[in-house]
Chains A and B, each alone.
Chain A
Amino acid sequence: MTSTLLQYSIILCLAVPFLIPFLKKYAKKIPIVQIVLFMMFLLYFYNNKELLPVSLVFGGWHLQNGVEVFFNMDSLLFLAATYIVFLAVIIYSSKKDYNWKFYFLINLLLSDLTCLFLANDLFNIYVTLELMSLISYLLISIELKNRQIWSSLKYMILSAISFNIYLVATAMIYHQYGTLNITLLSQANHHYTLPFLILISALLIKSGIFFYSMWLPSAHSDSESSISAILSGVIVNAGIFHVLRINQAINSNLITQYLIYVGIVSALFGAYLSIKQKDIKLILAFSTMSQMGFILEGWNNYGVEYAFSHSIFKALLFLSAGYYQHIHGTRNIDTPKRPVPISLFVTIWIGYLSISGLPFFLGSFYKHEIIVFSNGFIPIGLIFATVGSVIAVGKFALAVKPSLKMKGFIEKDTALLLLALICIIFGTFNSINHFDLEFLLEPVVFFGVGIIILLLFSKKIKNHYPYKLFKLSNVITIYSVIIGLIVTMTYFGF
């Protein structure tokens, strides 16, 4: 029964976007219908957790050469985040005069992501990731501005390199194991580390990790706000989801250590560079890189739950940034406080308190657990990154003041309210379930330190965007260094 339900849901998901070219009048409503139907499906499985995980091989083929769909609690959380963010984005941009092609792309992306979070073999992951990337390139450059097209092209070239590397690793894995199925790979007795290290590195290029996803700041900041929310809230999750899943399946000590070091570097560099920006969207883009580091650190401990939380509050912050830009016509925050409608003021602060990890807000408990359960020097680095994100996003939160006179936009307010309510309701339930003094005090101390630093030194922070570091040729140099390091690491068996 459950596998039949899953099978028909996937077929429905793949068919729905292709209704839009034939029913252009209903282009806005069709994705919403899909979202509502699929949310009901997710709720059904959430209430019947004992039914999970569900595995289904299309056409009744053997696992070794069939297309397997694997639906577990991790997939459910990632899918829930995806559908919530898409619902908010569609509501947010409902008054804009986008034609049916935009909604077709959005719906196709949604269906593709659904398949991506259910895919369980390396080649289907590649196909769904490629389709996702193709739609992302189009969505980034939807306004046809030159800088958007350049960001998109840069993203495209770096992605093409990453996909070629991914395919080489896939071929090596197939040659050694005779299968690409992740479940079967996890059952193998001996694991060759090199192909999996290369595979995971290629996926990290799509995951928003510093030194890997150097396309991210320009792509996320140059695109239209609703698209930025999708990119930062959902697209980066696609890579990280499979990094976590493959790492769990392979269970190799070397790969885990590699991910931990990559994660802490990303968390620290992302936080540092986000502090140095004055453009709200760049702050949020670098902050995404920092938060992705946190998710990697929680590979065996609430990483997935934190990824869900991050999707929601990052989408909330990006949509708020778009709203702010819509009102004031700028994304810079080095000017005196600007008035915004009360609704926007409240949602910005809810997003800010969530990303800062304060109790009773979404993600706070998971962030705390990730910091507490890390080993060695990692917690110290994560604490610095937490304080860094308090300072960076705080610049945005402190740059606005509520105004009673200003009237909001109903569709934008509704979308932001939806995300803000999720942040508060889920956060409160979570905090009450895991109520203890240490969890309450620690985040407040980090937040306090961050706010004090921000208030005292905000004028002394020099703005700087490392333009040269993100140049295409320099990024490719970084990739060659990374590949060289991986080969050396495996050769000497570190």
Chain B
Amino acid sequence: MRELELLFICATFICGFFGVYYTKNIIKKLLMLGVMNVATIGIFLYIGSTNSTVPPILQSVHSVITQQSFSDPLPQALVLTAVVIGFATQSLSLVFAMYLSKSYDTVEEDKIEKLVEEERRGELEP
């Protein structure tokens, strides 16, 4: 079962990566980056739950704690930071994509790249 979980996580990561590679639409590219991010978070959750899937919260003051009785809290704490940072990056990139789509009237990567290159040449060789 655990192997199957890992397989799904890896498949999600690869889907995200090839999604970023094949899509020419910038918005879709950014969404696929989100998919990659989800897979990364999945890997951390998978590692945290190696010993147990019980949340690391004391049920009562007298309960006995062993390393095997709850999931590792450190990867969860780390992943929380990664989620926040991922959200910040994604929002900023969407703002940039919005700005470019307003200026060029397209969200296709190839067209934007061509237009930017023309603009650059025009600026350098007046």
Residues of A within 8 A of B (CB): 65, 123, 126-127, 130-131, 133-134, 137-138, 141, 144, 146-147, 149-150, 152-153, 156-157, 159-161, 164, 167-168, 170-171, 174-175, 222, 279, 330-332, 467, 471-473, 476-477, 480
Tell me the dominant secondary structure on chain B's binding face.
Answer: helix
B15 within 8 A of A: no
**Given the complex of chains A and B, what is the CA–CA distance between A131 and B92 in angstroms?**
12
Instruction: Please name all residues of chain A whose beta carbon is closer than 8 Å to the beta carbon of B66 when the two chains form the complex.
Output: none
B89 touches A134 (CB 8 A): yes
Interface centre among A137, A153, A467 (most CB of B within 10 A): A153
**Given the complex of chains A and B, what is the CA–CA distance between A189 and B46 in angstroms?**
25
Q: Which residue of A lies closest to B88 (CB)?
A: A134
A164-B40, A332-B124, A332-B125 known; A130 vs B113 contact (CB < 8 Å): no
A123-B81, A156-B89, A161-B17 known; A146 vs B29 contact (CB < 8 Å): no
**Given the complex of chains A and B, what is the CA–CA distance between A332 and B124 in angstroms?**
7
Chain B min CB distance to A170 (Å): 8
Instruction: Please name all residues of chain B whose beta carbon is closer than 8 Å to the beta carbon of A146 when the two chains form the complex.
Output: 100, 103-104, 115-116, 119
A146-B100, A174-B75, A332-B124 known; A153 vs B113 contact (CB < 8 Å): no
Q: Which of B13-42 contact A (CB under 8 A)?
A: 13, 16-17, 20-21, 24, 26, 29-30, 33, 36-37, 39-40
**Given the complex of chains A and B, what is the CA–CA distance between A146 and B43 in angstroms?**
37
**Which of A126, A174, A332, A472 touches B113 (beta carbons < 8 Å)?**
A472
**Given the complex of chains A and B, what is the CA–CA distance between A157 and B112 in angstroms?**
15
**Given the complex of chains A and B, what is the CA–CA distance between A104 and B100 in angstroms?**
25
Q: Which of B97-119 contact A (CB under 8 A)?
A: 97, 99-100, 103-104, 109, 112-113, 115-117, 119
Instruction: Please name all residues of chain A whose beta carbon is closer than 8 Å to the beta carbon of B11 when the two chains form the complex.
Output: none
**Which of A130, A161, A171 touches B33 (beta carbons < 8 Å)?**
A161
A130 touches B43 (CB 8 A): no
Could you write out 17 A-B pairs with CB less than 8 Å apart?
A123-B78, A153-B96, A156-B92, A157-B30, A157-B33, A160-B93, A161-B20, A161-B33, A161-B36, A168-B13, A168-B40, A170-B78, A171-B47, A171-B75, A174-B75, A279-B124, A332-B124
Residues of B within 8 A of A (CB): 13, 16-17, 20-21, 24, 26, 29-30, 33, 36-37, 39-40, 43-44, 47, 50, 74-75, 78, 81-82, 85, 88-89, 92-93, 96-97, 99-100, 103-104, 109, 112-113, 115-117, 119-120, 123-126
Q: Which residue of B lies closest to A179 (CB)?
A: B74
A156 touches B93 (CB 8 A): yes
Instruction: Please name all residues of chain B whose beta carbon is closer than 8 Å to the beta carbon of A471 when the two chains form the complex.
Output: 113
**Given the complex of chains A and B, what is the CA–CA distance between A175 and B50 in angstroms?**
9
A330 touches B124 (CB 8 A): yes
**Given the complex of chains A and B, what is the CA–CA distance between A452 and B89 in angstroms?**
48
**Given the complex of chains A and B, what is the CA–CA distance between A476 and B100 in angstroms?**
21
Chain B min CB distance to A328 (Å): 12
Chain B min CB distance to A119 (Å): 13
**Given the complex of chains A and B, what is the CA–CA distance between A152 and B93 in angstroms?**
9
**Which of A156, A168, A476 touches B96 (beta carbons < 8 Å)?**
A156
B47 touches A149 (CB 8 A): no
**Given the complex of chains A and B, what is the CA–CA distance between A244 and B66 in angstroms?**
38
Q: Which residue of A lies closest to B113 (CB)?
A: A471
A150 touches B21 (CB 8 A): no
A65 touches B125 (CB 8 A): no
Instruction: Please name all residues of chain B whose beta carbon is closer than 8 Å to the beta carbon of A331 when the two chains form the complex.
Output: 124
A149-B100, A150-B116, A279-B124 known; A160 vs B17 contact (CB < 8 Å): no
Q: Which 10 A-B pairs have the closest CB atoms?
A: A153-B96, A167-B40, A171-B43, A130-B85, A150-B116, A476-B21, A164-B36, A175-B47, A147-B116, A156-B93
A65-B74, A134-B88, A164-B40 known; A153 vs B47 contact (CB < 8 Å): no
Q: Which residue of A lies closest to B24 (CB)?
A: A473
**Given the complex of chains A and B, what is the CA–CA distance between A472 and B120 in angstroms?**
17
**Which of A126, A130, A153 touches B93 (beta carbons < 8 Å)?**
A153
Chain B min CB distance to A189 (Å): 21
Q: Which residue of A lies closest to B44 (CB)?
A: A171
Instruction: Please name all residues of chain B whose beta carbon is closer than 8 Å to the beta carbon of A134 when the two chains form the complex.
Output: 85, 88-89, 92
A149 touches B20 (CB 8 A): no
**Given the complex of chains A and B, what is the CA–CA distance between A182 and B79 in angstroms?**
19
13 further A-B contacts with Cβ under 8 Å, apart from A160-B36, A332-B125, A473-B24, are A123-B81, A126-B82, A134-B85, A134-B88, A146-B100, A156-B96, A157-B29, A159-B89, A164-B36, A170-B78, A171-B43, A472-B109, A472-B113
A152 touches B82 (CB 8 A): no
**Given the complex of chains A and B, what is the CA–CA distance between A480 and B17 in angstroms?**
9
**Given the complex of chains A and B, what is the CA–CA distance between A467 and B44 in angstroms?**
38
Chain A min CB distance to B53 (Å): 16
Instruction: Please name all residues of chain B whose beta carbon is closer than 8 Å to the beta carbon of A157 when the two chains form the complex.
Output: 20, 29-30, 33, 93
Q: Which residue of A lies closest to B85 (CB)?
A: A130
Chain A min CB distance to B88 (Å): 6
B96 touches A149 (CB 8 A): yes
